[in-house]
């Protein structure tokens, strides 16, 4: 059953042959013992007789099923208890169904009744999980409404505070623009965009590994590259300008540069596809933030008259940024309201299908195995 609320990283199983973190092994074994008793017995025997096979089996089970539960328990113990109750009932129902298939009539009738009762309990457990998640969403909604209203009431004070902060300690730009044309930079220059900040060379260009707009192994066409550069331009205009120059003067270095920024670009492109309006609002707010920071840096280097002009513009930009942030919060609030309305409707629909759920699951669990 899909959760309404997914903690960060809880749904992502660890892939490959990476060892399971030491602090997660005991928790994983405890969960396996409760919901996969047969596998738990195998692991216990292997742990004593064949440690290598033990770790291989544990890693496979962890990656396929248990890892997400372990992370959920660490990140959200309360939600874990609801999810664990569901999974435990599912496991018990499956084990009971195996007994039913091995039992002859009339002894099977009490077991059938027991299975149906267990499936009704499973249905109720699922509803409790959804209700718990829905309650959390409603609490989050109230908090967001309060935050929005509080900021509206304190608009001028918040703008004044931010204005004073920027002028009191204007941040130093950690990545000043390089005066040389992007295409004219030496390839071994550590400042070049084609090198990551730890100065380790990139071995694969973007079209040989993974693309921001899709799955790995597919080359980007010109239209996709233009879209990516447009996204970068919205967040970091200077970077987009340098990338465009690099694309024209040195395509190979351009490909390497795009590879360097691929993880960040993938996230941006995904956000843009999932929520275009929210993406545009967030981009606008970030652009105004960057403009305010740049204006604050300019104040100290100007004559008195010019500095006053810059200060006035800074205040204007901060007001625009405040309004942009309010628009973004309002957008998030509207999305959350729609999500809650849909969750209520889904919950009511599920309540009306209780008997259908039990009958369907019972038939699936007791259907004879294919020979």
The angle subtended at Cα 23 by Cα 20 and Cα 25, nearest 5°, is 50
Closest CA to 24 of 38, 10, 36, 37: 10
27 touches 69 (CB < 8 A): no
pLDDT of residue 28: 94
279-298 confidence digits (pLDDT tens)? 889 888 988 998 898 898 88
Q: What stretches of the chain show up as alpha helix (H) in DSSP?
A: 22-35, 37-49, 51-61, 67-75, 77-101, 108-153, 155-168, 222-235, 237-249, 251-260, 262-274, 276-299, 304-351, 354-366
* Side-chain half-sphere CA neighbours of 256 within 13 A: 16
Q: What is the DSSP string of 149-217?
A: HHHHHTHHHHHHHHHHHHHHSPPP-SSPPPSS-GGGS-TT-TTSTTS-TT-PPP-S-GGGS--TTS-TT
| pLDDT attached to residue 301 | 61
**CB of 61 within 8 A of CB of 36?**
yes
For residue 169, is it left (φ>0), alpha (ψ between -120 and 50) or beta?
beta
**pLDDT tens by residue, 93-151:** 999 999 999 998 788 999 999 999 999 999 999 999 999 999 999 999 999 999 999 99
For residue 185, report the phi and psi dihedrals to the nearest 5 degrees.
Answer: -75, 140
Cβ atoms of 305 and 331 closer than 8 Å: no
Positions of the chain with pLDDT lower than 70, given as ranges: 1-17, 170-220, 234-235, 300-305, 371
From residue 143, alpha-carbon distances to 46, 137, 150, 178, 332 in Å are: 50, 10, 10, 44, 12
Domain limits, the chain: 22-142+354-366, 152-340
A 10 A CB-CB count for 128 gives: 13
Tell me, what's the pLDDT at 209?
40
Contact 62, 20 (CB under 8 A): yes
Percent of residues, the chain, with pLDDT higher than 70: 78
Whether the pTM exceeds 0.95: the reply is no
Read off the pLDDT of residues 259-273 as tens digits, 9 standing for 90 and up: 777 777 777 778 888
Gyration radius from the chain CA atoms: 28
Q: Distance (Å, rounded) from C-alpha 153 to C-alpha 4?
A: 32
């Amino acid at each position: 059953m899909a959760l309404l609320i997914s903690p960060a990283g809880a749904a992502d199983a660890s892939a490959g042959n990476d060892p399971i973190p030491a602090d997660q092994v005991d928790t994983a074994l405890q969960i396996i013992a409760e919901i996969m008793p047969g596998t738990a017995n195998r692991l216990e025997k292997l742990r004593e007789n064949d440690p290598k096979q033990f770790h291989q089996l544990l890693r496979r089970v962890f990656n396929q099923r248990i890892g997400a539960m372990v992370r959920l328990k660490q990140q959200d113990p309360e939600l874990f208890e609801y999810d664990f109750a569901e999974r435990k009932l599912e496991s018990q129902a499956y084990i009971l169904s195996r007994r039913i298939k091995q039992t002859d009539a009339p002894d099977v009738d009490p077991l059938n009744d027991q299975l149906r009762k267990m499936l009704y309990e499973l249905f109720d457990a699922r509803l409790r999980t959804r209700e718990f998640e829905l309650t959390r969403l409603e609490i989050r909604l109230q908090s967001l409404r309060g935050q929005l209203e509080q900021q509206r009431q304190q608009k001028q004070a918040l703008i004044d505070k931010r204005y004073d902060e920027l002028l009191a300690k204007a941040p130093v730009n950690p990545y000043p623009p390089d005066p040389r044309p992007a295409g004219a930079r030496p390839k071994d220059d550590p400042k070049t965009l084609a090198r990551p900040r730890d100065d380790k060379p990139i071995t694969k260009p973007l079209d040989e590994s993974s693309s921001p707009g899709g799955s790995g192994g597919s080359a980007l066409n010109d239209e996709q590259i233009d879209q990516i550069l447009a996204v970068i331009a919205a967040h970091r205009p200077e970077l987009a300008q340098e990338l465009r120059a690099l694309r024209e003067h040195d395509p190979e270095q351009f490909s390497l540069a795009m590879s360097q920024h691929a993880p960040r670009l993938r996230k941006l492109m995904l956000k843009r596809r999932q929520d275009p309006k929210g993406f545009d609002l967030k981009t606008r707010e970030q652009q105004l933030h960057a403009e305010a920071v740049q204006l604050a840096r300019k104040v100290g280097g100007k004559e008195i008259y010019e500095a006053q002009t810059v200060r006035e513009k800074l205040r204007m930009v901060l007001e625009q940024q405040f309004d942009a942030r309010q628009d973004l919060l309002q957008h998030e609030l509207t999305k959350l309201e729609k999500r809650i309305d849909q969750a209520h409707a889904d919950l009511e629909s599920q309540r009306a299908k209780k008997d259908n759920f039990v009958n369907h699951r019972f038939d699936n669990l007791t259907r004879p195995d294919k020979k």
